[in-house]
Amino acid sequence: MKARTNKTVLAFVLAIAVIAAACADDPIEEEPTVSEPPETTEAPAEEPEGDDTADEPDQTATEESDEADSAATDQPTEPADLGAFNDYEPDEPDDTPLSIDSEVEIGTFDNGLTYYFRSNDSPAGHVSMRLVVNAGAVLDPSGQEGTAHFLEHMLFNGTEKFSKLELRQALRDLGIEFGPDLNAYTSADETVYMLDFQLDDPEALDLAFTVFSEWASAATLDPAEVEAERGIVLDEYRLTDQSANGWIGNFLDAIYYSGTVYEGMLLGGSEVSNSSITAEQLRDFYETWYRPDNMALVVVGDLPVAEMAQKAEQFLGGLTNPADPMPPQPERNAFTADFVDEPVIDVATHPDYGFISMSIDWQLPAWSPRTVGGDRLRWMEAVIAHALDVRLANAHRAGLMAQADEPAMWLWQQARGLRLYGTNIEGTDLAQATTDYLSVLAGAAHYGFTDDELNQAATAARTSLDYQLEREPTIQSAGHVDRYTSNFVNGGSIESVEDRVARLEALLDTFTVEELTAHLRWILDNAPPLVVPLGDDPANVPDIAQLQAAIDAVVPVPPPPTEDRIETLLATPDPVAPIREHPVGLFEGAHEWVFANGVHVVFAPSDLAAGHVDLSARSLGGWSQLPMGSAAMRRAIAGAVASSGVADYSASQLDEYLAGTTARVTPYITELTEGFTGFAGPDDLDDLLALMHLYITEPRVTEVSAGEQIQTLRIRRTNYENNPQWTAVFDLYDATYQNSPWYHFILTHEEIDAVTAEGLLDLYEARLDDVDDLLVVIVGDIDQATVADLAARYIGTLPAGEADAHVSHNPGFPPGVTRITTPVDADSGAAGLYLQFGAAVPVTAETLVIADLVSTLLDDLLVGSVREDLGETYSVGVVLTPFIEVGVWDAYFSASGPSESLEQINSTIVATVAELIADGPTDDGLAQAKAVLRDDYQLDSNDEIISPLLMRRHLDDALVGTPDQRLALLDEITAEDISRYVALFFNLDNRIEAFRSVQ
């Protein structure tokens, strides 16, 4: 498995792609420094503060291990009799096509261009458009790997009607941000170009269709522009492919693709191919595959379908196909892959890699998602994966597995013609952990799934399906275009939500433990495991002989004993009347209740997400009120509680209960605050509040859960020691906080060894076992009377504690200009820089808008001055994040690039900022930045209601930055305001330069 992902019951839907509704989570503040690199094998990305896996509970090994051992002796040694399924092989799938949602208009123009049109007013006044090319990296010519991806870059470098600069300005005129990964992507099978914008400009729609027409037919592919872009492509390759994460990912990809049409594919190319691809070769690929009869146009938005059709016909209906017929594409259906027929065992190590683990995967057929039979098999395999999750989690909690992290079984689509089951295993004995994991899987196949496992998986599926049906009326346009894009390239379902939910729920009634067990046996018989330890040094992971021995030692393990079901989380408390209440004028229907325990509850009704309610609860204090050294444990503290069950209920009991409810809640601790985030359907808000109540009044931490968090702390330590990107981030932390021990975010090995379950619970209870100034914001599709009643019962009854607030331990930003350098290897792909500033600017609605404008302006200027003009930087940008509690901003620039260019990149960033301070933005630049923000400031998610309501603790209502307030302020901001605040945010005489470079 390439990357660790968080498993939730509601994520079950991802395996079936029922819907792609957008639902923004409430942001949780981070420490005011650059973001940590991820603990995955993917490219670096921002890591969210806190732990969002509240539904991954656990139980202690000691509580059940003896009972499990005794139960094992009573199990049959012969495989379970599956009756009619004893000699099972999947039947030839029923090839009846799935139905199509009547709300989408699908057709083909005379030139063969496929179109998908749908009118949708969520969000209002907005449109999402995609130009989908049925050509990806699998079609790269031999020796020209990376061609499809390089071509994607080049379409932004000029067409017959737009020069490179004009094209960028045209996108900005639409209010569209321009930058890496924002407007297009290339995958194994397709290349997709994306435009999402407001329709407030009457010329916007014509401009968007013009851009799509140009991309589809009129790319210039000027040789000089190809050479100018080559350095950017090479920098992206080094960042994503030559880094430790990229190298490991490519190693695993090569194994995944064995025996398939993707064998040998390199999506990002290679150093050699990216250095040698020519304009002529790009032109040949473009003219071969970028043709109307190999493309789709997808338009979903707040305008009539007839207008979409008229514009599409006008701008793209007249495009012509080349005279030569299109070459045939490789077959990618379920039975074209010649999968491996014996276990693949290999070892993947890179000296910079810190996520030491075991990757185990199984190739799966790419059953057609277009047909009734194919989708039934896909759905069944998703249910099997969830049932295996239940088996694995319970075995882990019963002490039957050596791995340190919670086991899981993931199901995902690697490419159009390849699906996989997979997992990652962590622990101090990876060979034994591998044997144990495979033994539990073998046990599921040998002894069969239990009725309880199937019931829990099916209940979770039904809960998810019903939840999506409730949310269907407000699916946003971006969700629809993603589904239609998937339909064109992969055959993904575009049934109506009602039809798909009804069909899949009916299928759940047909599944039996016998059929699911038989299908699992068939998979394990026909798809041997791909077993690859991942590490920094071969000496630190099992070798091939040890792995073979681990596989040979697999013995089916019977299911662990089950536990009693939870009937109700918490007996409904008697209500406590608020001491006062009043309307809140910021949003229609908003209301506030204040209780005697000090809790304020603010509710705002919202129909932006039908059938959905969001919660954010925040109190002041955070780890600033905990002992020195707690900063490095903030995630572990909350995560240990979130994965331990609650009150008298074990993690397994809670898992089973949560399968039947949409309620999810997650505790978190940051430097200055602590609290909870959560969501639920309207009918399950009582479960959400009951669970939050219990996380405050009866939290628990088990030994197993503590072990999982200790393992995560070890992985963070290893990443810090091995990965130069991690090292650079924490070196920058030390410089920013002048080596204050309060701001050490990585524990030493000795400190990790001293972490205990009892200690984690003590730290949690020091911040979250009572309430004093807790502010609970509830926003969603529910009535005020229900919220008032539930708040009085579950929130008003929480125990009151002593009042406190956050404490500032920040020694202040160091004076002058400081340079720190983290050495990297020449071929590590880790070179780059950060420029960190210490910005002390009051946080108000005005400064929030100005900060957004400054960020938007600088991002655009840096794309021009650094990315385009220097031509060696793939990623460059700025971050401005407020910390209202202390009146400071996280203000920094980041850039990738080769070591030899970092000085020039650094000086160019500084010069760009200095010029903006001295001259201010141009009129056009400021107007375009405002156009981008007008789109961003539309009220289209509950988060845009929650954030200002949380800020009311610190600011007057007129200053909290509601969307209306921001839009009103936007027009008032002048170029002079921008110059003045850029100087405040980025004092060029006071910064830290953090370089990652070859020494």
Domains of the chain by range and CATH?
10-57+567-795 (3.30.830.10), 105-315 (3.30.830.10), 334-470+494-552 (3.30.830.10), 817-997 (3.30.830.10)
Please report, as a single letter, which amino acid is at residue 842.
P
User: What is the C-alpha separation between 547 and 389, in angstroms, rounded?
Assistant: 23
- 623 SS3 class: helix
Contact (CB, 8 A) for 466 and 535: no
0.75 exceeded by pTM: yes
- Please tell me the predicted confidence (pLDDT) of residue 178: 72
- Please tell me the predicted confidence (pLDDT) of residue 19: 28
Contact (CB, 8 A) for 402 and 429: yes
CA distances from 139 to 136, 159, 188 (A): 6, 23, 8
- Please tell me the predicted confidence (pLDDT) of residue 248: 97
Task: List the one residue out of 645, 713, 658 whose CA is nearest residue 404.
Answer: 713
User: What is the C-alpha separation between 136 and 285, in angstroms, rounded?
Assistant: 10
Contact (CB, 8 A) for 794 and 640: no
993: left (phi over 0), alpha (psi -120 to 50) or beta: beta
Helices 724-736 and 703-722, interaxial angle, to 10°?
A: 90
Please report, as a single letter, which amino acid is at residue 991.
R
User: What is the C-alpha separation between 245 and 3, in angstroms, rounded?
Assistant: 9
User: What is the C-alpha separation between 962 and 950, in angstroms, rounded?
Assistant: 11
- 676 SS3 class: strand
H or E segment and range at residue 504 = helix 497-510
User: What is the C-alpha separation between 786 and 759, in angstroms, rounded?
Assistant: 38
- Please tell me the predicted confidence (pLDDT) of residue 858: 98
Task: Give the number of other Cβ atoms within 10 Å of residue 92's Cβ.
Answer: 7
- Please tell me the predicted confidence (pLDDT) of residue 340: 75
User: What is the C-alpha separation between 66 and 959, in angstroms, rounded?
Assistant: 60
Quick one: the chain helix, strand, coil %, rounded to 5? Answer: 45, 15, 40
- DSSP letters, 863-899, are IIIIIIHH---S-EEEEEEEETTTTEEEEEEEEE--G
Task: List the one residue out of 846, 888, 877 whose CA is nearest residue 972.
Answer: 846
Q: Prior bond to 123 cis, omega within 30?
A: yes
Task: List the one residue out of 659, 568, 662, 666 whose CA is nearest residue 613.
Answer: 662
H or E segment and range at residue 439 = helix 430-447
Tokens coding 230: 């080559």
**What DSSP state is assigned to residue 303?**
S
User: What is the C-alpha separation between 643 and 406, in angstroms, rounded?
Assistant: 9
Tokens coding 106: 């699908």
Tokens coding 487: 């339909």
User: What is the C-alpha separation between 537 and 238, in angstroms, rounded?
Assistant: 21
Tokens coding 55: 């539904």
User: What is the C-alpha separation between 937 and 934, in angstroms, rounded?
Assistant: 5
Contact (CB, 8 A) for 478 and 406: no
Cα torsion 259, 262, 265, 267 to 10°: value is -150
Please report, as a single letter, which amino acid is at residue 258.
S
Q: Give the CA diameter of the chain.
A: 81
Tokens coding 315: 């701008």
Contact (CB, 8 A) for 166 and 924: no
Contact (CB, 8 A) for 781 and 606: yes
User: Whose structure tokens read 């509680």?
Assistant: 641
Instruction: Note the Cα 83 to chain centre separation in Å.
Output: 42
Tokens coding 999: 């020494």
**What DSSP state is assigned to residue 14?**
G
According to DSSP, the β-strands at 673-680 and 295-301 are unpaired
Contact (CB, 8 A) for 274 and 144: no
- Please tell me the predicted confidence (pLDDT) of residue 61: 31
924: left (phi over 0), alpha (psi -120 to 50) or beta: alpha
pLDDT along the chain (999 residues), means of 10: 40 32 32 46 30 31 37 65 96 95 98 99 96 98 97 97 91 78 89 95 95 98 97 95 95 92 94 98 98 99 98 98 94 64 93 96 92 97 98 97 97 93 97 98 98 98 97 96 96 96 98 98 94 97 97 97 95 98 98 98 98 98 98 98 98 98 98 98 98 99 98 97 96 96 97 98 98 98 98 99 94 96 91 95 94 97 95 95 89 96 98 98 95 92 97 94 96 97 97 96
Task: Give the number of other Cβ atoms within 10 Å of residue 760's Cβ.
Answer: 24
User: What is the C-alpha separation between 59 and 392, in angstroms, rounded?
Assistant: 12
Helix H, strand E, coil C: the string for 214-242 is HHHHCECCCHHHHHHHHHHHHHHHHHHHH
User: Whose structure tokens read 């099972």?
Assistant: 88
What sign has the CA pseudo-torsion 867, 872, 875, 880? negative
**What DSSP state is assigned to residue 864?**
I
Task: List the one residue out of 134, 80, 28, 241 whose CA is nearest residue 829.
Answer: 241
Burial 198-215 (b: 16+ CB within 10 A, else e): beeeeebbebbbbbbbbb
According to DSSP, the β-strands at 664-669 and 673-680 are antiparallel
Contact (CB, 8 A) for 28 and 48: yes
Q: Prior bond to 180 cis, omega within 30?
A: no
User: What is the C-alpha separation between 896 and 831, in angstroms, rounded?
Assistant: 6
Please report, as a single letter, which amino acid is at residue 513.
V
User: Whose structure tokens read 């506030």?
Assistant: 592
Please report, as a single letter, which amino acid is at residue 94.
D
Beta-bridge mates of residue 669: 674
Task: List the one residue out of 652, 642, 649, 765 whose CA is nearest residue 706.
Answer: 642
Instruction: Note the Cα 7 to chain centre separation in Å.
Output: 12
Contact (CB, 8 A) for 643 and 407: no
Please report, as a single letter, which amino acid is at residue 998.
V
User: What is the C-alpha separation between 601 and 250, in angstroms, rounded?
Assistant: 49
Please report, as a single letter, which amino acid is at residue 939.
L
